[in-house]
């Protein structure tokens, strides 16, 4: 397999944009990416677009708006890991020597649903009984607090950290710091999660360009090497599920660390799937960033801050940037790319050399999560 | 790139099955495939499931019902070419040496929509103005009749041929021959297309197993070699569109013939995307099975019959089998597999050595078609 590089990234600013469709948002990100590096759309040999709710032929609709018309393109769905999955397929095709230049995008317009929890399929027994994502994560939070001795203040610490990071990110849905008091005063969504412990419903899109080494060299833009690209699906079981342990994240991370020849201690930046504040604690532990049951103490001790041991979601994470589900994976790769190329501006983690991007989702039908994608990128070859 | 084989196939019978969801239909096809060859679900290293309307995480829902739980799985969308696209991605991954055994499936439950034309996105200008698929194909038919001198009787010839083939296919939605008089008496849908010139809305699923040479040898089932696997997307343009020429089919076919080192004259069996009777004429010409403007004469002359020059849709095609959109591509590969392994029973084309499967779709937003998939398979290595 050949080395594969991320050589460019663009994000259509995240936020409430009810008058911009998913194709329009995605087309904006893809078009801005190509214009930003002066690359002809005809140089793009294939496209993979991740989306959950974007509808039929979204890949065509997105890419044609960027002038890409005719090559193999695919709309890929894997719940919140949709554009992580799209990136994985693009990576695989380039690594295999099939293509040299592939555009990956993710796009979603969630305001089309109005507001509230994501619409899930009532064919799932648990959904049919009223289960929604905030409730699923609230149960996980209750159990985590019970098991570890953490308190709601520990959840709030995640929010305060990530909203503080997001305040520096011009691409974030929320660009405003919040205090612990603000979070505590926000309305209760699903006990113990308050509004500020939950990511918002957001419209947005992101795009990254993946290329072979030769193509990257000719293009001449700053580049980062994809050291690992892993997708896994959830293991179905009807017996006891430990809500405090996202087994799929642990399993995917192990495969990614093996592929990269790197471990948690090597990471400078982690863009992690903090759809809810509790998710950062659970996934940080499953990624090996803290021992089990201790991530809340790592947050409280500043270890996950931008200037801490490992910067977790220096972009602000989903809690700040928002979570246009199908776009999130690509946007994390974009944030990692900017960090590793020293282009992260006010968000820059000094000297960042290794970044991990993690998305996971779709977790309420007999599996911990439906899908998980993990990418590990390095600044140097 | 390594050779890739189709080594097993299964179809969940096509028809109106309002009480069977897409996951249930797909799970049935995938499960039957594995049981039919006695393969452990754990041997399947990845899964690609094509669907248009199946919803989030359909791949997981389908494959878990067949016992496949944990590996990389992807839901792939490309309109009617969705499971053709899924097969392409599976083929590519095996050809590249990433996997040795990948399950491909397609599943769709169209009765969920009630009846009538497929629901399309009103974000498309043409759809917003009332355009639907039967109307799009009716316009193509009108123009084709005008340009070539063909008549409605020529459209009916396609229906009579394909319904005659389908009458032998136990997996078809319609298993009953019809006469020209029957077709002429069926109600007008969109002039000149009558009901029997249109494929029905059908529920169904199909699965095929793709493997490397070594895996195929160990498994020991009859196998067919994938000589070409091609996906293309439509070229967007706002200028004149020649409705009688599916440029995407011609372009995809040329790439497939080049890849296979074979041409139209080598084909024994073609499973073609006859969503409407006119589509067989248009696509047969674009595939090079007849000179432009003459496919109606080839049908009238028996050249596309099961015992003719090239058997076009000996399975009965979409007109008989029905068109559960995301499942159609995989079901065509299944029919081709059975033909090339001599397992097609009453449908068998004697001595079939080379088969082509073609799906295309999503054709009404500034492109001839949104996507096209073509696979060429041979009985011998």
| Contact at CB, B56 and A232, closer than 8 angstroms | no
- Spatial neighbors of B315 by CB under 8 A, at least 6 apart, are B165, B166, B169, B171, B172, B271, B321, B332, B335, B347
Q: How far, in Å, CA of B315 to CA of B169, rounded?
A: 6
Helix (H, G, I), strand (E, B) or coil at B79: coil
The CATH 3.40.47.10 domain(s) of chain B lie at 4-111+203-224, 125-197+227-378
Q: How far, in Å, CA of B155 to CA of B141, rounded?
A: 8
Compute CA A258 distance to the chain's CA centroid, rounded to the nearest angstrom: 21
pLDDT at B335 over 80: yes
B365 interaction partners in chain A (CB closer than 8 Å): 57, 61
The pLDDT value given to residue A120: 86
Q: Does A125 reach chain B within 8 Å, measured CB to CB?
A: no
A362 interaction partners in chain B (CB closer than 8 Å): 56-57, 60
**Average pLDDT over every residue of B306-329:** 98
Q: What is the distance between the terminal CA atoms of chain B, rounded to a whole angstrom? A: 15
pLDDT at A113 over 90: no
A380 burial type by CB count under 10 A (0-12 exposed, 13-18 middle, 19+ buried):
exposed
Q: How far, in Å, CA of B183 to CA of B152, rounded?
A: 10
Q: Does B312 reach chain A within 8 Å, measured CB to CB?
A: no
Q: How confident is the model at residue B241 (pLDDT cuts 50, 70, 90)?
A: confident
Which residues are A359's β-sheet partners?
A373
The pLDDT value given to residue A364: 64
User: Which runs of E-coded beta strand occur in B71-177?
Assistant: 73-77, 101-108
What is the CATH code of the structural domain delimited by B125-197+227-378? 3.40.47.10
Q: How far, in Å, CA of B290 to CA of B154, rounded?
A: 15
The pLDDT value given to residue B18: 93
Residue of B nearest to A94 (CA): B96
B50 interaction partners in chain A (CB closer than 8 Å): none
| Contact at CB, A236 and B64, closer than 8 angstroms | yes
What single DSSP character describes residue B344? -
| Contact at CB, B89 and A89, closer than 8 angstroms | yes
**pLDDT tens digits for range A116-155:** 888 888 778 888 888 899 999 999 999 999 999 999 999 9
Contacting A residues, span 21-50, partner chain B, CB-CB under 8 Å: 21, 23
**pLDDT tens digits for range A150-170:** 999 999 999 999 999 999 999
| Contact at CB, B69 and A97, closer than 8 angstroms | no
Q: What is the ipTM of this complex?
A: 0.97
The owner of tokens 């011009």 is A170
Angle subtended by helix axes A247-260 and A277-286, to nearest 10 = 50
**pLDDT tens digits for range A275-288:** 999 999 999 999 99
Q: What's the pTM value of the predicted model, to 2 decimals? A: 0.97
Contact A242, A371 (CB under 8 A): no
**pLDDT tens digits for range A301-318:** 999 999 999 999 999 999
B195 burial type by CB count under 10 A (0-12 exposed, 13-18 middle, 19+ buried):
middle
Asked whether the CA dihedral B152, B158, B162, B165 is positive or negative, the reply is positive
A370 interaction partners in chain B (CB closer than 8 Å): 56-57, 60
Contact A331, A11 (CB under 8 A): yes
Contact A167, A173 (CB under 8 A): no
Tokens of A286: 């499953």
Contact A280, A299 (CB under 8 A): yes
Q: Does B123 reach chain A within 8 Å, measured CB to CB?
A: yes
Helix (H, G, I), strand (E, B) or coil at B219: helix
**pLDDT tens digits for range B66-89:** 999 999 999 999 999 999 999 999
pLDDT at A320 over 80: yes
Q: Does B96 reach chain A within 8 Å, measured CB to CB?
A: yes
Tell me which residue of B223, B230, B227 sits closest to B209, measured CA to CA: B223
Cα three-residue angle B299-B275-B204, rounded to 5 degrees: 125
Helix (H, G, I), strand (E, B) or coil at A44: coil
Q: How far, in Å, CA of A172 to CA of A132, rounded?
A: 25
| Contact at CB, A59 and B233, closer than 8 angstroms | yes
Q: Does A259 reach chain B within 8 Å, measured CB to CB?
A: no
Architecture of domain A4-111+203-224: 3-Layer(aba) Sandwich (3.40)
Residue of A nearest to B2 (CA): A96
Picking from B73, B88, B234, the nearest residue to A60 by CB comes out as: B234
The pLDDT value given to residue A125: 81
Picking from A69, A120, A370, the nearest residue to B235 by CB comes out as: A69
- Spatial neighbors of A346 by CB under 8 A, at least 6 apart, are A168, A169
């Amino acid at each position: 397999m050949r080395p594969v590089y991320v050589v460019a990234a663009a994000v259509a600013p995240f936020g409430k944009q009810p008058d911009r469709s998913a194709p329009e948002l995605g087309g904006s990100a893809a078009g801005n990416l190509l214009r930003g590096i002066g690359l002809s759309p005809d140089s793009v040999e294939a496209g993979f677009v991740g989306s959950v709710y974007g509808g039929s032929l979204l890949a065509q609709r997105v890419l044609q708006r960027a002038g890409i018309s005719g090559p193999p393109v695919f709309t890929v769905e894997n719940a919140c890991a949709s554009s992580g999955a799209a990136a994985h397929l693009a990576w695989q095709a380039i690594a295999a020597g099939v293509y040299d230049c592939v555009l990956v995008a993710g796009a979603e317009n969630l305001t089309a649903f109005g507001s509230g929890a994501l619409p899930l399929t009532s064919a799932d027994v648990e959904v049919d009984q009223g289960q929604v994502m905030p409730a699923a994560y609230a149960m996980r939070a209750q159990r985590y607090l019970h098991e570890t001795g953490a308190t709601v203040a520990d959840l709030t610490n995640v929010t305060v950290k990530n909203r503080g990071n997001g305040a520096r990110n011009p691409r974030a849905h929320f660009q405003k710091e919040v205090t612990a008091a603000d979070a505590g005063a926000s309305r209760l969504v699903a006990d113990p999660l308050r509004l500020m412990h939950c990511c918002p419903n957001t419209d947005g899109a992101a795009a990254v360009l993946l290329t072979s080494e030769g193509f990257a060299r000719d293009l001449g833009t700053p580049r980062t090497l994809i050291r690992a690209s892993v997708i896994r699906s959830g293991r179905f079981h009807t017996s006891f599920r430990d809500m405090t342990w996202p087994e799929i994240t642990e399993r995917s991370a192990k495969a990614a660390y093996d592929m990269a020849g790197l471990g948690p201690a090597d990471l400078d930046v982690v863009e992690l799937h903090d759809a809810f504040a509790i998710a950062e604690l659970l996934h940080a532990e499953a990624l090996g960033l803290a021992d089990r049951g201790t991530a809340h103490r790592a947050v409280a001790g500043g270890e996950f801050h931008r200037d801490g041991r490992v910067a977790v979601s220096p972009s602000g994470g989903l809690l700040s940037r928002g979570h246009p589900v199908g776009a999130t994976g690509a946007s994390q790769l974009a944030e990692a790319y900017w960090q590793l190329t020293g282009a992260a501006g006010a968000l820059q983690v000094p000297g960042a050399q290794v970044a991990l991007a993690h998305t996971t989702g779709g977790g309420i039908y007999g599996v911990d999560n439906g899908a998980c994608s993990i990418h590990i990128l390095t600044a140097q070859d």
